[in-house]
């Protein structure tokens, strides 16, 4: 039996925050307008997608293990392997494992455990995986007995590796398309998905010729630190809901739009930076204007460098971002501004590596 998509009691439901396409566009517009009028804005000409790639550390995803008695040998070995991969101990995954004994729960974890009373098979050892969504909000997007998690790649999968590879090679946005295997209420989910894919392909080819990178990249305060080409380049990555290796990622994404997905709609997710998803959009709500608005936002100058004040949420991806971007011993970029201050450490000036593409480029070849 697979874990629940979302534990119902006590769980933040992000569906109300990811709504219809016009509202998505209004949220982005309001967000940008707020930043432009804020006195705390710190001038920066680096595009949002590139600033996020070089300087935003992905939020840590919590893997909470509720236990009542010692684990079996196989279970303990599995949990220890998860612990070793945590970025908090030098591993590649933006995760951490929290072992929670039922006899000694903190008030917060006790509240979480009690909220799961109605969940089927709530028998320890039991796993809940949660991550941050937006400012001061947490989404529980995986729950179930530990045994159900042993056969599911939680930290790594082929699609997440491909996402990381494309972002590290210079894609500004990877449009992830999660295709449903359900056809409900007489809807032709295949036709809707095909329409969305065609629209994405057209826009991915057209937008590089319409958008421009901000001026002033490389000047003080807008330095680049990695050798990744700075490109207005977009790609599409398809994912089937039937893929057994992607069940963790699928359950995280479908929890944001369960009604649309259960009705047979594909979900469209623009991913940028270090695996940060900007939105989860049902295929029927995707429009050319929406694609352009979101792309323009991510390719414009980074008006706010404080990660927590930007929209989106981080996927759980196992990859050593700093090593891949800057090398083993390279100097890292200065820390982003402290939340609420607009200030950061004084930047260290570094030359832009030779051979960077110019600000204006020809559109990439068709996908």
pLDDT confidence of 207, banded at 50, 70, 90? very high
Mean per-residue pLDDT of the chain: 82
pLDDT, position 337: 62
Confidence band, pLDDT 50/70/90 cuts, at residue 339: low
At 305 the pLDDT is 64
Identify the pLDDT of residue 27. 57
Read off the pTM.
0.83
Listed in order, the ranges of the chain carrying CATH 3.40.30 are: 61-149
Mean pLDDT along residues 301-327: 87
pLDDT of 202: 98
Q: Is the pLDDT of residue 28 over 70?
A: no
Q: Kindly indicate the confidence band of residue 182, based on its pLDDT and cuts at 50, 70 and 90.
A: confident
Share of the chain above pLDDT 70, in %: 77
Question: Which segment, 1-15, 109-123, 188-202, 230-244, is predicted with the most confidence on average?
Answer: 230-244
The tens digit of pLDDT for each residue in 291-313 reads: 999 999 999 998 766 677 788 99
Residue 229 pLDDT: 95
C-alpha–C-alpha distance, residues 14 and 83, integer Å: 28
Closest alpha carbon to 49 in 302, 332, 322 = 302
At 123 the pLDDT is 93
Note the CATH number of domain 61-149. Answer: 3.40.30
pLDDT tens digit sequence for 214-256: 999 988 888 999 999 999 999 999 999 999 999 999 999 999 9
Q: What is the pLDDT of residue 367?
A: 42
Which tens digit of pLDDT belongs to each residue from 94-151? 999 999 999 999 999 999 999 998 888 899 999 999 998 877 788 898 999 999 999 9
- Provide CB contacts within 8 A for 363, sequence distance 6+: 205, 206, 207, 208, 209
């Amino acid at each position: 039996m697979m874990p629940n998509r979302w534990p119902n009691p006590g769980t933040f439901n992000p569906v109300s925050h990811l709504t219809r396409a016009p509202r998505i566009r209004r949220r982005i517009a309001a967000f940008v307008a707020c930043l432009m009028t804020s006195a705390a804005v710190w001038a920066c000409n680096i595009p949002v997608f590139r600033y996020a790639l070089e300087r935003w550390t992905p939020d840590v995803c919590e893997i909470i293990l509720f236990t009542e008695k010692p684990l079996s040998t196989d279970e303990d070995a599995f949990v220890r392997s998860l612990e070793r991969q945590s970025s908090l101990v030098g591993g590649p995954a933006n995760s951490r494992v929290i072992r929670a004994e039922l006899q000694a729960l903190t008030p917060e974890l006790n509240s979480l455990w009690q909220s799961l009373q109605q969940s089927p098979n709530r028998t320890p050892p039991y796993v809940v995986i949660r991550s941050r969504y937006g400012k001061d909000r947490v989404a529980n997007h995986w729950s179930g007995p530990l045994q159900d998690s042993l056969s599911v790649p939680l930290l790594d999968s082929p699609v997440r590796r491909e996402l990381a590879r494309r972002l590290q090679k210079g894609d500004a946005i990877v449009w992830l398309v999660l295709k449903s295997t359900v056809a409900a209420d007489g809807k032709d989910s295949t036709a809707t998905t095909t329409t969305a894919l065609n629209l994405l392909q057209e826009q991915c080819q057209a937008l590089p010729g319409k958008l421009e990178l901000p001026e002033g990249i490389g000047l003080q305060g807008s330095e680049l630190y990695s050798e990744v080409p700075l490109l207005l380049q977009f790609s599409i990555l398809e994912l089937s809901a039937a893929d057994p290796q992607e069940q963790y990622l699928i359950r995280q994404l479908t929890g944001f739009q369960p009604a649309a997905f259960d009705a047979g709609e594909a979900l469209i997710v623009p991913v940028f930076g270090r695996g940060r998803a900007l939105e989860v959009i049902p295929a029927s709500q995707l429009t050319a204007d929406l694609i352009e608005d979101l792309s323009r936002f991510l390719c414009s100058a980074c008006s706010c460098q404080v990660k927590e004040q930007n929209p989106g949420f981080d996927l759980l991806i196992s990859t050593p971002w700093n090593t891949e971007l800057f090398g083993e011993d390279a100097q890292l970029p200065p820390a982003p501004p402290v939340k609420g201050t607009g200030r950061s450490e004084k930047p260290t000036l570094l030359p832009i590596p030779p051979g960077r593409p110019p600000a204006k480029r020809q559109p990439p070849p068709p996908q």
